[in-house]
Amino acid sequence: MRGFWRKHGLVMLGGMCQGFGMGLFLFPNSIPSGGAGGIAVLLNYWFHINMGPALWIVNFSFMLFGVKYLGKRFTLWTLIGITMTSLSIDFFESHFSIPNRSLFYDLIIGSMFLGLGIGILMRNNVSNGGIGVIAIMISNGRNILPGKPLFLINSLIFLVTAAVISWEIIFLALISQWISTTVVDVICRVDFSPSYSFGWRKKP
């Protein structure tokens, strides 16, 4: 039971870190945090849906594809993570603003907190939702590493987002991805406790 509450707290923390980085720094500059973030930016642009609910809708929709494949427990933890992320985005967007903001600092700080949140979730064998779930399914089905399908899907979404809003987005999104994934690697390399699992496994 103690392990359950510890994991629950860490999943909530991971979602909050993601929401802080995206809601306060990345999304105000229309910088997508990934493929799901890019679709959320488009929903916000086209239909004026707030970024928090938009990201939840995207992540939940993609997650439904993986329920049967990845298992109910994995899906439930992922649902908790993406819900906390979306609530945090909505909270930080609604209650905080940065005067005289700098795109450079927003990009760096937002991407670092995004990577921190994703890293915490992955340390607990929880997906940050969205495109990651689809990439895992493709990688297992085709027996390839998940990085390639994840990169291709995200790149396609970045292209569409950039074509609709601004071509500068591709450059900013790629920098954000590099920073955040570097932070994820650091978090996943540090041996905090042997009880954590790093692997993605298909349910038996």
- Give the start-to-end residue ranges of the domains of the chain: 2-189
Residue 189 confidence (pLDDT):
78
Q: List the beta bridge partners of residue 124.
A: 197
Mean pLDDT lowest for which of 22-31, 33-42, 58-67?
A: 58-67
Whole-Å CA distances, 54 to 27, 36, 66, 124, 189: 12, 9, 19, 25, 32
Q: Which DSSP category does 99 fall into?
A: T
pLDDT digits (tens, 9 = 90+) for 48-57: 999 999 999 9
Residue 145 confidence (pLDDT):
63
* Mean pLDDT, residues 175-204 taken together: 68
Per cent of the chain over pLDDT 70 is 90
Q: Pick from 121, 49, 122: which is nearest to 89 by CA?
A: 49
How many angstroms separate the CA atoms of 184 and 118, rounded? 6
Tokens of 38: 């890019």
Q: Is 29 exposed, middle or buried (0-12, 13-18, 19+ CB in 10 A)?
A: middle
Helix, strand or coil for residue 71? Answer: coil
pLDDT digits (tens, 9 = 90+) for 103-133: 999 999 999 999 999 889 888 878 777 777 7
How many angstroms separate the CA atoms of 16 and 6, rounded? 15
Q: Residue 197 above 50 pLDDT? A: no
